[in-house]
Chain A
Amino acid sequence: DQQVKQNSPSLSVQEGRISILNCDYTNSMFDYFLWYKKYPAEGPTFLISISSIKDKNEDGRFTVFLNKSAKHLSLHIVPSQPGDSAVYFCAVNRDDKIIFGKGTRLHILP
């Protein structure tokens, strides 16, 4: 049973534009959310996190938005750069376990 859903397997965005990656979750008790980026043949790299007491967290080009009523979070990357091409995983804390969504492959087009 998928508790963290990333419904877009892939996304293509023009370099310099905004990339928006989406994630839905099923349990309103989840209270800590993370985004990871993964290149082939490397481990996932932590990007940004947010706790449920906030609705926005920003770190440089990366901003995560949390909509608790919709059980939805999104990652905004502005401006998108070629090095952002990777697989992005949404993750949640469930009972002290970090559980990952299936990922979205982001392609940044020149």
Chain B
Amino acid sequence: DTEVTQTPKHLVMGMTNKKSLKCEQHMGHRAMYWYKQKAKKPPELMFVYSYEKLSINESVPSRFSPECPNSSLLNLHLHALQPEDSALYLCASSQGTGYSPLHFGNGTRLTVT
């Protein structure tokens, strides 16, 4: 069982919908991450939160909006997505940034119709 829990496992949304992806970890990690993975590609970094503050935004379009309500929770708010945003969205956490391994959840499979 993964120690990083992501919900929902699957999500289908229309281009005008608003939805949120949720991630939770109880390992006491201080850094949390969103990655996006398309088929047969490596995970691509989207956002990094360190001590609940956004520290890295990899020039992600504003239709993706991250939120870190507390050190255990990470959300990704979605609005006006495009079909090309369909992908596996992975949450991860680590003790710190850079020199600690990331622990990933099993992801949310997002389909935008």
A interface, CB within 8 angstroms of B: 32, 34, 41-46, 49, 51, 89, 93, 95-103
Contact = CB atoms under 8 A, between A and B. Distances in A.
Interface string B39-66: 0011111001000000110100000000
Contacts of B109: 41
Contacts of A49: 101
Contact of B45 (A42, A51, A98): A98
A58 to B, nearest CB: 16
Contacts of A101: 42
Nearest to A95: B98
A8 to B, nearest CB: 14
B97 A89 contact: no
B4 A43 contact: yes
9 contacts: A34-B101, A42-B107, A43-B4, A43-B92, A43-B104, A44-B43, A46-B101, A93-B99, A102-B42
A45 B45 contact: no
Interface residues of B, number: 26
The secondary-structure label for the interface of chain A is strand
A96 B48 contact: yes
A41 B48 contact: no
B56 A51 contact: no
Contacts of A99: 45
A32 B96 CA distance: 13
Interface string B81-113: 000000000101000011101111111010000
